[in-house]
Structure 1
Amino acid sequence: MNIIIRLREKYAALLRDKQIPLMQSRIRILTFGLILMIALLSIIILKSMIRGDYKTSARLLISVSAMCCGLYLMFEKNNWKLAGHLFLLSLCSVIWTNIAMYTFGINLVSLQITLIIISASFYILGKNWGIVYSFASVIPIILHLLLTSGQNGKMTVTPLQLNNSSFMLALIVNFGILITMHYEFFKSFFKSNSKERELNTQLQSALKEAQEATKLRADFLSSMSHELRTPLHAVIGLINILSVENPRKDQEENLAVLRFSAENLLALISDTLDFSKMNEDQITLNKSSFNLSMLLQNILASFRPKAEQKKIDIQLNIDFENAPLHIMGDQTRLAQILNNLISNALKFTDNGGQVEILVATKNQTAKHILLHFAIKDTGIGIPKNKQEIIFEPFLQANNNITKRYGGTGLGLAIVKRLIGLHLSKLILESEEHVGSVFSFEIKYEIAVPVVPLETEQPVTGTISTISNLNILIAEDNIINIMLLKKILDQWNCNYSLSKDGKEALDMVKTGGFDVVLMDIHMPIMDGFEASRHIRELPDVNMSKIKIIALTASSDVDIQQSFSYTYLDDYLTKPFSSQLLKEKLEGVVQQLSGK
């Protein structure tokens, strides 16, 4: 009794180890097959010994012993595969000895055992061993039929066999084994399908949760971007205003530190938001005409003060400097790529080093131009084994670099993806303690330069300078209002204030304004809705008023909004006063050309 209980515990433990339904079915098929066949053969052995048929008893005893070894290996050694081989070899030996030792050669029981071998070998051991054991059981039968002329072409059950209890018992047990094997196998198949369906349901649920989490993260980052950019706009704006109010030498140094810290913080916010948008495939390239020569000169000028501070020789070498190159593409994203690469080059190049910006024409046709960009530096370089990981987000070559130079490790990851959007690839060549070269190629459509048309002399009373503009400020943030007032007061501009979108709409209806500086996030009525209502005004002079959005939202969020079409232009906070001046001067030019 204790042995049976112990075997049941071993069997249960064996099934627990195999969590996959198919594996559990294999164990069950093998266990039932071994136990039923041992019991069947043991009964036949006893009957054979009573009849004095010691030859049958001896050969079946060998098979029973092998099967008992199989049970031992499965329960005690957890080696069910070897137990399967012993089970199948024992059954094969029964067929082989039947053919070799008895005149009847093949009967119905032999065919049953053949079917058991074929089914069990595939179910228990898989297709390769299934083929081996199938051939091992079938080929001897086919050869025997060919050599004996197929027993006159008939397979019969004789009256003697029907009256033989051992034959009938074997017939019944074999059918039982066949039924059990197929039942177990298809039960496992059904369980696997059920489990697969359950996993698919769980996967769909997890995917939906992940999508919702991604959306929440994107919304959170957009909201945080807006909330962080708003105070930064005030900080950077006031720094710029203080810088032009003749500060003392010590105040200039303090303002420089403040500007550096604020701009670094802004860069970190922008990189984090850009990377999030790229992960969600929300960034697309905008196509517009721009002067590449001027863009490169402006980028060089923006980095020259930092280079001079570190005594780094920074140079720009282009092969089209004699003729300005106008191309169609995304100026903002190209500038972002170059700014990141040049900033890295300056950051990782020690005092007295050199940084070179190279732009060369690789191929040109009447309509297109292929440009090769390269940023070279004589900086610290990157070890060969670290040149792959630096393009992964949040990773730098080592922790010491992070501690010494700072940064999030997002810059190069963003650059790589932006270049990928241009259907190009970022290539790195670097040697430690010698320097690095980051290069890429972009194909652009050549644009026709816009030549300003000569216009007649403006009629008396037209607007000639931004000081003649009537500006409406739609802003609810007190700090931003104060900053805008200080900026506009520098240029002697005329302006009025509105604290929300609805008030701005009502003031536009008076017809006394030329341009609206519209904040987007405002109470009662936001900037987008106010802009839509303005465009729907019946008076054309009012509905066509210039609207420039001043927003702490990102470029991507603005451009993806359907209401973007209601705006004439926009500036993302924090923006420089010079950039706002350029936008207002553009309005002046448009109004003076009426």
Structure 2
Amino acid sequence: MNLLCDYFIGDNLRREPDLLKQASIRLVYHILMAAIISLVFFFTIYIIKRYDAQLIKNLIIFALFIGTLFYIKYTGSIRFVCHFLVIVSWLNNNINIYLFDDFNFIVALLTVADIIFAFHTLGSRAGLIYSLLHFLPILAHFMISHAGIHLNPGPPQQLAYTEGILMLLLVFFIIVYLIYHYHQAYELARRAILQHVEDLEKARAIANAMNKLKANFLSNMSHEIRTPINGILGLSQVIALESKEEDTRKYVAMQQQSGRRLLDTMTSILELSRLEAEQEDPKRKSVAVNPLVEQCLAAVEGRAREKRLDITFRPCPNAPQGLSDEHMLRQVIAHVLGNAVKFTDKGSILVETRLAEADPGMIMIRVTDTGIGIAPEFMARMYKPFEQESTGRSRSHEGTGLGLALAKKYIQSLKGEIRAQSEKGKGSVFTILLPAHTPAP
């Protein structure tokens, strides 16, 4: 048997690296060999019983099955053979049902084996088609028999006892073999999934370690850079206070502006890196929203005054209390207000706080400006780190593109939301939503 297996499918198995496909090739081969061996026994029974029609039928099937073995050997494909086997089995069932008027338990089992085999080797679509193809003749046979119609006028040629036992063993073997292969396929898939999950866990652990390493590196570098920058800014402030020369004071002001910009850039990069590496858990508590917004407005008031912008604050009269982490919320408001001042060259900025009527249980902080606005195609990317609408040396507004990315990460950690509406050349409206604090009864 092993020599025959090597002769007919040995080369095909060596060429086929997929374990499941190798199993399907072996399955088809074993079914063919089992069927051919069974047919040899049936010939003797049919000759003794003088079942000439059954003998002719089995001789034809025997020749076809031998031909399929050589087809597998020389083509290396089993798909056509699988279709062929199911169709031959289906025809054999219909011959037994209609020509010999013999529908029994073995025919029913063979029908089940055909359907499972079709699903296993040919896929779901072919399996469903063959299921319907097998079911309809059986249904028609029951309806015809119920109507008292007999297509075969002679006595039915039922299977002999020995043939019945062999057929039962063959069908049982096929069904168990198919179920065994299904189980093997399931085990292979399960082990592959577990291995994939394990690999993903390792990759995630490595990524987290790299993020922490990056955060530590940036933290150390930030400290080494920010400390001398603070020293430079302190010295320039002393020079500005003591110097009487206008040119010197102007140069010092430019130095301080550049120093603050560099300091803000380092702080933003460090903050983003820390958020990505540590996934900081916010310490949420009751926060008075109106005073916090006023403090953030005071921080940008100087820059707004330099650009002659009109800033208006309309606080909510209910003095809302938000459930939030004060540091995170301050950062969200500061970044949104900072962008509003940066990208508004003339006009006004309106800041409002109120209870969000459309979102019950939420507090709304809305910042409306008359700035340059945001192009529609950039709206989907504006919360990504380092994304800027204008890039290169031609851009009119400096910055790293981290402000809105940090604001988005912070507000998501606070279980809130940030929304934006904008029209190019007319301004933008940013709406911050955060949960309201509900005092315990």
TM-score (norm 2): 0.73
Of the three residues 351, 361, 364, the one matched with 1:358 is 351
Compared with structure 1, are the counterparts of its residues 192 and 338 closer, same or farther at alpha carbon in structure 2 (3 Å cutoff)? closer
**Contact 1:112–1:174 (CA<8 Å) still a contact in 2?**
yes
Q: Structure 1 residue 382 and structure 2 residue 380: aligned?
A: no
SS in 2 for 1:390: coil
Residues 34 and 71, structure 1, Cα contact 8 Å, conserved in 2: no
Amino acid at match of 2:425: H
Query: SS of 2:417's equivalent?
Result: coil
Is the 1:389–1:395 contact (alpha carbons within 8 Å) kept by the matching residues of 2? Answer: yes
Q: CA deviation at 1:412?
A: 0.7
1:416 paired residue number: 408
How many angstroms apart in 2 are the aligned matches of 1:31 and 1:402? 71
Q: Distance in 2 between matches of 1:326 and 1:244?
A: 42
The counterpart of 2:255, out of the listed 255, 258, 264, is 258
Q: For the Cα contact (< 8 Å) 1:67–1:90, is it kept in 2?
A: no
* More helix per residue: 2
Following superposition of structure 1 onto structure 2, how do residues 82-481 of structure 1 map, counting pairs within 5 Å? Answer: 83-102=81-100, 105-106=102-103, 110=107, 113-124=110-121, 125-126=123-124, 128-129=128-129, 131-132=131-132, 135=135, 139=139, 158=160, 161-162=161-162, 173-246=170-243, 248-279=245-276, 280-282=278-280, 284=282, 285=284, 291-292=291-292, 294-295=294-295, 298-304=298-304, 308=306, 312-319=307-314, 332-349=327-344, 353-361=346-354, 370=363, 372-379=365-372, 381-397=373-389, 399-400=391-392, 405-442=397-434
Distance in structure 1 (CA, Å) of the matches to 2:262 and 2:369:
26
Offset at 1:240? 2.0
Measure the CA separation in 1 of the matches of 2:271 and 2:206: 23
Q: In the TM superposition, what is the alpha-carbon distance from 1:144 to its structure 2 partner?
A: 8.8
Give 1:429 shift.
Answer: 1.6
Instruction: Determine the C-alpha separation between the residues in 2 that align with 1:67 and 1:139.
Output: 32
Shift in alpha-carbon separation, 1:429–1:199, aligned structure 2, 3 A: closer
Instruction: Name the SS for the 1:439 alignment partner.
Output: strand
SS of the counterpart of 1:386?
Answer: helix
> 2:183 is aligned with what amino acid?
F
Aligned to 1:33: 31
**TM-score, reference length from structure 1:** 0.57
Distance 1:71 1:255 in 2: 92
Structure 1 residue 332 displacement after superposition: 4.5
Match among 11, 21, 41 for residue 9 of structure 1: 11
Identity of aligned residues (%): 20
Could you say if the C-alpha distance between residues 200 and 384 of structure 1 is closer, same or farther in structure 2, counting changes exceeding 3 Å? Answer: closer
Q: Secondary structure at the match of 2:242?
A: coil
Describe the SS at the equivalent of 2:382: helix
In structure 1, how many angstroms separate the alpha carbons of the residues matched to 2:186 and 2:318? 71
The answer to which of 52-61 and 244-253 deviates more is: 52-61
> Secondary structure at the residue paired with 2:386?
coil
Question: Aligned AA for 2:371?
Answer: T
SS at match of 1:391: coil
Equivalent position amino acid for 1:93 in 2: L
- Cα distance in 1 for partners of 2:213, 2:240 equals 40
> Whole-Å Cα distance in 2 between the matches of residues 43 and 185 of structure 1?
30
Q: 1:420 to 1:38 in 2, by over 3 A?
A: same
Q: Deviations along 1:357-377, whole A, 9 cap, x unmatched?
A: 32254579xxx9955421313
- State the distance in 2 between where 1:327 and 1:168 align: 83
Which deviations, in whole Å up to 9, do the C-alpha atoms of 1:25-55 show, x marking residues without a partner?
A: 4454344334543665588679979989367
Change (3 A) 1:249 1:333: farther
Question: Does structure 2 conserve the Cα–Cα contact (< 8 Å) formed by 1:60 and 1:94?
Answer: no
Residue 155 (structure 2) aligns with: none
Question: Which letter does structure 1 place at the counterpart of 2:56?
Answer: S
Distance change >3 Å, CA 100–CA 336, structure 1 → 2 = closer
Q: Secondary structure at the match of 1:408?
A: coil
Question: How far does residue 411 in structure 1 lie from its aligned partner after superposition?
Answer: 1.0
Amino acid at match of 2:185: S
Deviation at 1:68, TM superposition (A): 5.2
Cα distance in structure 1, aligned partners of 2:132 and 2:303? 75
- Check whether the contact 1:48–1:57 (CA below 8 A) recurs between aligned residues: no
- Find the structure with the greater CA-based Rg: 1
Which consecutive unaligned segments of at least 5 residues does structure 1 have? Answer: 150-155, 447-594
Aligned-partner residue type, residue 343 of structure 2: F
Tell me if structure 2 keeps the 8 A contact 1:122–1:129: no
When residues 435 and 83 of structure 1 are mapped into structure 2, their CA distance, relative to the original with a 3 A threshold, is farther
Q: Which moved more, 1:402-411 or 1:324-333?
A: 324-333
